[in-house]
Structure 1
């Protein structure tokens, strides 16, 4: 079972870097055979957690499978009549995932199921009545608590009205009463940091979403710093950076590529969100099939993804696995953002203190003047594209990190 400290997560008393893949539609769209293939692949790549929506993902890709959590009446869910077979099937998938060593982060109420959220107006099957929360949450506990999940109370939500907030507070209070030993967090909408106090006090760790909007590339680190300031003393994770090959939100032309998602990950982790990172691939989260439609005209207007059989081979997944490897190799579990190392402010270069020095993400090849003497430091430079390594030891008094020998972004480890 996972435990939370003030800065990171522990598993069996040892530091645990949360490396999750996004598979929101697992319970509704994936066959049992494909589930095994998917788990094996992500395990090979170093992932140790999965993010799944308990209820059907409102923007999932079409599927011929029919897994319904509630009775459907005249095109709308009857939230008071739960389908035991749906939850039994979901539990089966969870059991297999646990056998492969994955931790589970399960979203309880995606925003389309809650009134007055940005997505509720798009959901044709209707929002959940407040009176149905208790029986639904009881079923969630009965089905999933035995897997020691992280319960994610909200999914992609904003908190626009007291009514909306009351749903999440009710669900959190009820579930924490039933499952007090599980960890709790929320998944909030992109470029957003507000969490109601009554809900935040129920949370053990905090998530934010830098998201898929191309208008401000600073979101991964700006949101991390803002969340740290607003809600100190809890582990922080960017639970939805830009997904690999995802179209830009708002119907804008363009897609996020491998180098974009790597940048977002390192900027997040070195800016306060050091408890973990989440990977996402367009085509996996919605489990897209070739030749099917996609809801590009609703919500954030994402372009049609590649089918999951192609998306599962995107190279960025390996980059995220390599990140987790480096975190463990250099013991980067208690990172503290510290831009004071740089003599001249440079937002693109992210800096964090480590237990015995510093870690820097440097996106381009430049010399960096620091505010300290580097004499006695060992510099390890990791090329994040080729994974080549260059090592330099400072034997003379200098305050400048010279240009590194690589061509793109690097991780710099300074150790005394």
Structure 2
């Protein structure tokens, strides 16, 4: 169980460093096997907590069919809205199973109770129509989830990415009213719980009535290039103002995410992520740090109807960032499709690999692809196979998620993904195991 003493969190009497990964959409978008793999990976990497939205994330991909927290009302124009009076208990049954997996691994769930899109007059409320929760439905929902999940000793994030300062994009009156109700309802059920607020990027303003009742102060230096200094300026301001509790930058710049408000189309590197983390911790936000990654999704979540079924083989999907496709191992070009959107390779030890550039890009009939190798060519790891005009593909409306598939998995004891998050040329992406003594490594294709 977590407790607070001075500037730090403690777990079972020992100092607890909050090293959290961000997986907002876990409850709506991950199958249980994928969740177990994800947790095992993050546990091995030293993470101690996972940050998750209890409800559907408004800016994420579509959830797994049926994974909705409330009953759905369908409209004739194709839109929908939630009936917040009807909680989907099967959704929360699955949440409980996923939290049990975290508990087995000794990891702490950080659960957002109510994201900002469900609250009127927040900066994001206009992005999702018809999904503002009626004020009178807050208390029943909050009491239900807090009572059900308090046994997992979570950290409760009262809000999700919400600011409490009036400006041209948001008004604070409704947010204060709604989150006062959230906090009071939760504390009635779990008075000894750990509470904080997830406020929007580069902000540190929190109403005094909330600041007096939180267990620690959580801020986010966020993803705008112009605001990266807030990683250290916010904790400095908080300490200077007399705040003596724990502080954490719970959302530093996501590794691989495009820099917002940047003059150039650049993405945050691992170095820049480490820089933000150290700046925050050394400036006084030393309760821990919240990390986030961008760029690679497990294949089963593509839900494309072909690759996600496993009918073609086993593998992963990579979100493209650079217009180059390089050989991931020494081998032979088996075939370059006439439309140049896909290449098959064979390694010296027998791995047959399909690299499919984007989804449904066969419809481009070769436009935007430049072929540099031919059937039968011998290639070495790192050789350039094709160049791709990513802008053309995006402007044509195609998905840049690119399946990388071992098409003969029956020849191996196991084919498994070796990484998640941002990848680059040379990173190990897949591992095909023949037996304990012989393995074939498939490195990352330079699509990201």
Instruction: Indicate the residue corresponding to 1:130 in structure 2.
Output: 135
Q: TM-score w.r.t. structure 1 length?
A: 0.69
Gaps of 5+ in 2: 75-79, 165-170, 303-316, 318-357, 361-398, 405-416, 425-448
* C-alpha distance in structure 2 between counterparts of 1:200 and 1:226, whole Å: 15
SS at 2:38 equivalent: helix
RMSD: 2.6
SS at 1:156 equivalent: strand
Q: Alpha-carbon deviations, 1:1-47, whole Å to 9, x = none?
A: 11112211111111111111000000000011101110110011001
CA contact (8 A) 2:19 2:48 kept: yes
Q: Alpha-carbon deviations, 1:375-403, whole Å to 9, x = none?
A: xxxxxxxxxxxxxxxxxxxxxxxxxxxxx
Mean Cα displacement is larger for which, 116-125 or 261-270? 116-125
Question: 1:63 and 1:141, CA in 2 relative to 1: closer, same or farther beyond 3 A?
Answer: closer
* C-alpha distance in structure 2 between counterparts of 1:170 and 1:69, whole Å: 20
1:24 equivalent to 2:4? Answer no
Select which of 312, 316, 332 maps to 2:420: 312
**1:143 Cα offset (Å):** 2.1
Instruction: Indicate the residue corresponding to 1:61 in structure 2.
Output: 61
Instruction: Indicate the residue corresponding to 1:85 in structure 2.
Output: 90
Question: 1:88 and 1:312, CA in 2 relative to 1: closer, same or farther beyond 3 A?
Answer: same
* C-alpha distance in structure 1 between counterparts of 2:261 and 2:116, whole Å: 18
1:218 equivalent to 2:229? Answer yes
SS at 1:108 equivalent: strand
Instruction: Indicate the residue corresponding to 1:233 in structure 2.
Output: 244
Mean Cα displacement is larger for which, 119-128 or 129-138? 119-128
SS at 1:144 equivalent: helix
1:151 equivalent to 2:156? Answer yes
Structure 2 counterparts to residues 300-339 of structure 1, below 5 A? 312=420, 314=422
1:279 equivalent to 2:284? Answer no
SS at 2:224 equivalent: coil
Select which of 267, 271, 277 maps to 1:265: 277
* C-alpha distance in structure 2 between counterparts of 1:130 and 1:215, whole Å: 36
* C-alpha distance in structure 1 between counterparts of 2:401 and 2:56, whole Å: 19
Mean Cα displacement is larger for which, 303-312 or 36-45? 303-312
Select which of 178, 193, 197 maps to 1:182: 193
Question: 1:211 and 1:201, CA in 2 relative to 1: closer, same or farther beyond 3 A?
Answer: same
* C-alpha distance in structure 1 between counterparts of 2:227 and 2:117, whole Å: 26
* C-alpha distance in structure 2 between counterparts of 1:66 and 1:46, whole Å: 33
* C-alpha distance in structure 1 between counterparts of 2:83 and 2:359, whole Å: 28
Q: Alpha-carbon deviations, 1:263-286, whole Å to 9, x = none?
A: 000000000100001111014799
**1:63 Cα offset (Å):** 4.2
Q: Which has the higher strand share?
A: 2
**1:66 Cα offset (Å):** 2.7
* C-alpha distance in structure 2 between counterparts of 1:311 and 1:304, whole Å: 19
Select which of 245, 262, 265 maps to 2:256: 245
**1:149 Cα offset (Å):** 0.4
Instruction: Indicate the residue corresponding to 2:349 in structure 1.
Output: none
CA contact (8 A) 2:224 2:262 kept: no
Question: 1:184 and 1:285, CA in 2 relative to 1: closer, same or farther beyond 3 A?
Answer: farther
**1:65 Cα offset (Å):** 3.4
Instruction: Indicate the residue corresponding to 2:181 in structure 1.
Output: 170
**1:304 Cα offset (Å):** 7.9
CA contact (8 A) 2:359 2:400 kept: no
Select which of 246, 268, 271 maps to 1:256: 268
Gaps of 5+ in 1: 294-302, 317-416
Q: Alpha-carbon deviations, 1:111-146, whole Å to 9, x = none?
A: 111111001010134211111001100111132111
In our comparison, the structure showing a higher alpha carbon Rg is 2
Question: 1:43 and 1:272, CA in 2 relative to 1: closer, same or farther beyond 3 A?
Answer: same
Q: TM-score w.r.t. structure 2 length?
A: 0.64
* C-alpha distance in structure 2 between counterparts of 1:225 and 1:305, whole Å: 41
Higher relative contact order (Cα pairs below 8 Å, separated by 6+ residues): 1
**1:226 Cα offset (Å):** 1.7
Question: 1:258 and 1:175, CA in 2 relative to 1: closer, same or farther beyond 3 A?
Answer: same
